[in-house]
Structure 1
């Protein structure tokens, strides 16, 4: 091996058992260190050597992830870094086109037990050139010819060649983008136009090739398709496109999204888009959010940064979310610490409904906070009485008593 290979590949390869989370995570860090070394060497190293090491590192990485517990995603991220580097290295090294095409086909279609990475033919366009890309398309057609009749969309997952069909469709999408072929982009991405995510995919493809008006139009179609989570995701993408390319239309778009999907998050985006004109929309937004006390309180607390307003909303709207109350009392303690004590008490009592060390610990910490908040006030004795009552009520819970002791409670 070359000196670069000696520095990189031992950090990628391993014979260790990677079925435990900690072992896989530790090795994933080694892999990222190896890729850092490889990337840092690019400016001063022969491109042919860079490609050779990158190619070997990628092959080894795929074998590693096949037998690892990569629930943290760190090894997968390392693989994706190498997949991004590979076409760049191939182009710089002037890798023989035929050899590169053979590898691309093998990587994507050979059943090696790892089929969750895709190659992007757009990224390989520079390395392949026009003639190479034509040869690559021919190779894809040859693969398709071996598969038999194309299954319907509903039958594809159960097809014996489901992965191959998915890979061919992915390549068709990316090649349509490479060709800047508007009709092909619509055909390969939007399909039957019945899924919001597919419509957003179409919009993103148009954005990639600089067709911004088309991207905005298709993102709007995805937004309008239904009220599902995919349309909501598309709505944020649509608004982002408008903010970047048609800022004068962004506020109206954010308002329409809020009216369709009212939440603290969509309200926050209206607030940001409105800027100095926010007072014109405040009453509508607050009134709409009243249907969801949690969202109303979180918006007032986190976006408007008005803890007193949030406190009043929480009471008037009968907020019943313990998590939101917990966030609210943290902020309102600075306004009126004594007023928060009844809420703290209720949260403590709710914690103790479930018998577990974690709940006992959280309750003990909250009681300690109550003692601190009430110190020097007439409420101090009441808090101590509450603690005594809880100790008595739960006297048969030794772990609770232990957590109370650890928190320094009387």
Structure 2
């Protein structure tokens, strides 16, 4: 009879050459299959067996990723799935607390090759129990005592114990959340409040423990921090909190975010929040986005779903982005297939400024599209003449000729 370990562990472990990207990707998918089997077995398998196989799988997965080219992140995602399952399995199996703490300390502070995964003491709290959590805190304090004076924030990353300090700080943040300690959450997450992301981290911690008013307040502080990308990210989080917990305030929040960071994205979110009230804001949004033709056209095309309006904007605002034009013609060709032919021609000619298979393939596909759109019209001959002219102009590019042939071009 095949045991769970027999079904799972061979899919995690490997002697293959996973430092090659393709091999790592293939094995990573196999690891996900193993985790699928493990998760599916939970309802019908003794908890002790689930925990044992999860624990062994995690140990093996860490060894695999240590020597893998995981630039695609597939193996890392499998490891994270195991890391999410491990504390749950430990709690249900009533894993020995002292042994579990020893493992947690070794995983985080041992001489492992892989040090870029964190363990969450909040997730492990049910398995540790109150006594175990206190014992774990004591072990962390012992590590800190051995490190000597704490370096400044600026010097921490160049200190000889940067990983240990990072891990201790991570645990301090998570234990503050576990304790629902508001002052400790602010101290460990916001630090000196000099970084917008830290302020948002504080908001997220308050959200996690159900302190919604505090979460909204700190998310707003992060939004107002400056005009940088971190504040923009915080703004979306702030609006999301309002939409969930104070929906009557969400529309004005989305409007303020659009006014601070006007873009097709912030306009789309304002459009969604406005609902039936959208006409009130339409003129302001369209006028504001006119300063950025790309945003104006993409908003009209993708959010308003008005290709004619987007087409007119593209011309009146002198749109000069080939990428945006290529998206626009896909939508407008259904309205007027002949009108998009000059745009397609320009895109083809611009594509062929650069040599390379990708450019040739894209140009060939666009020319094939032009033939399809022009079929049966007086422009069909013009398109074929264009293709002949391009073949002659680029006669010394054999790969281009090959791609044209593959696309069925004359």
Range class of TM-score, shorter chain: over 0.9
> CA 1:387–1:47 in structure 2 vs 1: closer, same or farther (change >3 Å)?
closer
SS in 1 for 2:155: coil
Write the distance in 1 (CA, Å) between the matches of 2:154 and 2:42. 46
Structure 1 residues 48-107: Cα deviation after superposition (integer angstroms, max 9, x where no partner): 222222111111111111011112212111111111111111111222211111111111
SS in 2 for 1:278: helix
The match for 2:371 is 371
The match for 1:288 is 288
Shift of 1:146: 0.4
> CA 1:374–1:42 in structure 2 vs 1: closer, same or farther (change >3 Å)?
closer
- Tell which deviates more after alignment, 211-220 or 90-99: 90-99
Does residue 229 (structure 1) correspond to residue 229 (structure 2)? The answer is yes
The match for 1:401 is 401
Does residue 277 (structure 1) correspond to residue 277 (structure 2)? The answer is yes
- Tell which deviates more after alignment, 276-285 or 88-97: 88-97
Structure 1 residues 239-292: Cα deviation after superposition (integer angstroms, max 9, x where no partner): 000000000000101011111111101000000000000000000000000000
Shift of 1:361: 2.2
- Tell which deviates more after alignment, 322-331 or 41-50: 41-50
Write the distance in 2 (CA, Å) between the matches of 1:2 and 1:402. 53
Does residue 203 (structure 1) correspond to residue 179 (structure 2)? The answer is no
The match for 2:125 is 125
Aligned counterparts, 1:171-320, within 5 A: 171-320=171-320
Aligned counterparts, 1:335-346, within 5 A: 335-346=335-346
- Tell which deviates more after alignment, 178-187 or 36-45: 36-45
TM-score with structure 2 length normalisation? 0.97
SS in 2 for 1:146: helix
Shift of 1:2: 8.4
> CA 1:46–1:406 in structure 2 vs 1: closer, same or farther (change >3 Å)?
closer
Write the distance in 2 (CA, Å) between the matches of 1:320 and 1:341. 17
TM-score with structure 1 length normalisation? 0.97
Structure 1 residues 303-331: Cα deviation after superposition (integer angstroms, max 9, x where no partner): 00000000000000000000111111111
Structure 1 residues 14-61: Cα deviation after superposition (integer angstroms, max 9, x where no partner): 222211122212222222222222222222222222222211111111
Shift of 1:391: 2.6
Does residue 37 (structure 1) correspond to residue 37 (structure 2)? The answer is yes
- Tell which deviates more after alignment, 140-149 or 61-70: 61-70
Aligned pair count reads 410
The match for 1:72 is 72
The match for 1:347 is 347
Shift of 1:406: 2.9
Moved over 4 A (4+): none
SS in 2 for 1:118: coil
The match for 1:329 is 329
Write the distance in 2 (CA, Å) between the matches of 1:90 and 1:2. 23
Shift of 1:10: 1.7
Write the distance in 1 (CA, Å) between the matches of 2:391 and 2:31. 52
The match for 1:11 is 11
Write the distance in 2 (CA, Å) between the matches of 1:365 and 1:7. 46
- Tell which deviates more after alignment, 69-78 or 143-152: 69-78
Write the distance in 2 (CA, Å) between the matches of 1:335 and 1:5. 59
SS in 1 for 2:138: helix
Write the distance in 1 (CA, Å) between the matches of 2:29 and 2:361. 34
Shift of 1:392: 2.8
Gaps of 5+ in 1: none
Write the distance in 1 (CA, Å) between the matches of 2:49 and 2:366. 60
Shift of 1:341: 1.2
Shift of 1:381: 2.5
Write the distance in 1 (CA, Å) between the matches of 2:389 and 2:144. 75
Write the distance in 2 (CA, Å) between the matches of 1:114 and 1:274. 47
Shift of 1:132: 1.0
Shift of 1:140: 0.3
Write the distance in 2 (CA, Å) between the matches of 1:97 and 1:169. 23
Shift of 1:348: 1.2
> CA 1:43–1:367 in structure 2 vs 1: closer, same or farther (change >3 Å)?
closer
Write the distance in 1 (CA, Å) between the matches of 2:273 and 2:197. 25
> CA 1:15–1:300 in structure 2 vs 1: closer, same or farther (change >3 Å)?
same
Shift of 1:159: 0.7
> CA 1:10–1:42 in structure 2 vs 1: closer, same or farther (change >3 Å)?
same
